[in-house]
Amino acid sequence: MRPLTSWSALTSASVGLWGLGVEGRASLRRLESIGLIPVLVDDKPAETTLGGLEVLATDRGGLEALLACGVVIKSPGISRYRPEVVQLEQAGIPVRSGLGLWLEDVPLERVTCVTGTKGKSTTTAIAGHLLSQLGYDAKVGGNIGQPPWEPTTAGEPDFWVIETSSYQVPDLTNGPPVVAVTSLSPDHLDWHGSVERYYTDKLALCTKKGVRTAIADASNATLRQQAVALGPQVQWVDAGDPRFGGPWVRALGLPGEHNIRNAAMARAVLQSMGITEAEDAAQMEAAAQGFRGLPSRCHSIGHVGLVEFVDDSLSTNVLPAQAALEAYGDRPVALLVGGHDRGLDYAPLGQAVARRTVPTLVVTMPNNGPRIGSAIREVVGDAVEVIDATGLEEAVATAWGWTRNSGGVVLLSPAAPSFGRYADYRERARAFAEAAATCGPLT
């Protein structure tokens, strides 16, 4: 019997599907397309049935049902270090992921994976856009785009660019020849258990079976410190690189030094994949035209008078908030921070605020906003005002009152996830836009 490590090997397996988010539902459709009826389990089922199948809660019969399966396909949000996962594997039941199963079947020379604490979504999107504009049939998948194992009649593209999270990497057994790491800083400590294991899990992508080259951002000090974990063939991209900046990057229309780095990383990925057109500056400038930045990544939602409102809701840790502040380094900024507390150290964000030479206001929001505010106050003292708000609406009103006469930017870059108050970063972004609209018509 073939090991149950790929979708093509599951032809007669007894399958448990654990977690029914975007990836879980794609896996369900894939299983149904090959004639398999899985056991459905979810930690907090939103419905009692799905597609005519009963959905079991993990703690109410679900784990027992999974223990009776031949293989379990889990969603990435379920930590590989949970005791239930350990129990399944100790019982001899393989615990796989949709992405891991897919990578065992697909021709890997047609795939690249992009990871990193922040910047991976934009780098993935840029690489996919460039490939498409250069005449290739390219799709992006993983955390953005569709799960690549989703059943489709459209046929396989020339290339897949897969955004790969730290949740997904530990479930992979192999990787494509070219991978990229855009950045590294503490994050997702609740899933990984420690910052050391987060770094180990994230960077393990670079040494998976089949990986030939790891491309990494040389400006990230933490990545440099972890260089040994990137494998023997590392290609560093830094400001001295000829791919860094220039007319082709400006044609993308993205703000900030961090997006110049993201663009350079994307071009380096294409070159390492053998895309010869990526060597030519004129072709790259033409291909960059028409790129649309991703929502909630330093995305301007409009102006009210002289004030610009910028949605950076996907900022869920310190690194992107620092980058956002730098992107608007020559303009007054009212920075809105706070959300779900992951126990991160926010002193580096205070240092980024302290480095600014133009007026800055920090407005904090629940739940961990006051803790962020305290960390910033410890660094900046009385040099920068820090105000605690009771929620996003009050924070926007406070920021608007501060910026309305002198112009500047109201920047939602929370440095924390949205869990608890909002379903996800998208819902938080919608709430920000609605609050901004109460200040006046957005133009």
Looking at residue 1, what is its pLDDT?
Answer: 37
- How do residues 49-93 score in pLDDT, each as one tens digit? 999 999 999 999 999 999 999 999 999 999 999 999 999 999 999
- How do residues 421-436 score in pLDDT, each as one tens digit? 898 999 999 999 999 9
Looking at residue 8, what is its pLDDT?
Answer: 93
Looking at residue 144, what is its pLDDT?
Answer: 86
Looking at residue 2, what is its pLDDT?
Answer: 43
Looking at residue 262, what is its pLDDT?
Answer: 95
What's the token pair of residue 309? 């409102």
What is the share, in percent, of the chain residues with pLDDT greater than 90? 89
Instruction: State mean pLDDT over 166-180.
Output: 97
pLDDT tier, 4 (very low <50, low <70, confident <90, very high otherwise): low
pLDDT tier, 3 (very low <50, low <70, confident <90, very high otherwise): low
Looking at residue 170, what is its pLDDT?
Answer: 96
Looking at residue 215, what is its pLDDT?
Answer: 98
- How do residues 359-414 score in pLDDT, each as one tens digit? 999 999 999 999 999 999 999 999 999 999 999 999 999 999 999 988 999 999 99
pLDDT tier, 12 (very low <50, low <70, confident <90, very high otherwise): confident
Residue matched to tokens 């957005």? 442
Residue 213, pLDDT > 60, answer yes
Q: Taking all residues of the chain, what is their mean pLDDT, rounded to a whole number?
A: 95
Instruction: State mean pLDDT over 302-322.
Output: 95
pLDDT tier, 5 (very low <50, low <70, confident <90, very high otherwise): confident
pTM as predicted: 0.89
- In order of start, what are the domains of the chain with their CATH numbers? 7-96 (3.40.50.720), 101-288 (3.40.1190.10), 299-437 (3.90.190.20)
pLDDT tier, 29 (very low <50, low <70, confident <90, very high otherwise): very high
